Amino acid sequence: MTISVGESIPDVTLMKATDGGPEPVKASEFFKGRRVALFSVPGAFTPTCSAKHLPGFVEKASELKAKGIDEIAATSVNDAFVLGAWNKAGGSDDITMLADGNGELVKALGLDADFSKFGMGARGQRFSMVVNDGKVEQLNVEAPGDFKVSSAEHMLEQL
């Protein structure tokens, strides 16, 4: 079942991409006491993710923070090294990369997806959410193949 607004983020361990290498972080600790804009992509370096999704959050970071967002985080079923390289290639210091390499977060959220027909295996759906002190405040899940409701622009309209 898919997570709903008002529910707590599952307490899985993610790998934060840092200059010093992957750093394990418990979701309960990461989201505690602050308002986080989280967006999820099917894969780093994939076309829509690299051309639209990440650049939108980079471009709108200051506007999101002006509307009460304390941190912007991206996640994907990729390892922390890939997400770190993706952030260096097209992201910014305003985006925290949280690797969900084993898909534990997306499975626990009920937002996992099978991309086997594209040769990508088990991944996560494209979505965004605002997490306030560990609880889902907003949830925007894309229809397959779409890129509308999970964008930074859409999130700004909701805040």
Instruction: Name the residues annotated as catalytic.
Output: 49
Nearest CA-CA partner of 104 in 4, 159, 25, 17: 25
Q: Tell me how many degrees the CA angle 20-51-18 measures, rounded to the nearest 5.
A: 10
- Residue 122: strand, helix, or coil: strand
> Which 8-state DSSP code applies to residue 103?
-
Query: Which tokens is 2 given?
Result: 């898919």
Nearest CA-CA partner of 80 in 9, 148, 20: 20
Residue whose token pair is 């939108």: 56
Q: Is residue 39 within 8 Å of residue 53, measured between CB atoms?
A: yes
What single letter denotes the amino acid at residue 64?
L
Nearest CA-CA partner of 71 in 11, 16, 149, 12: 16
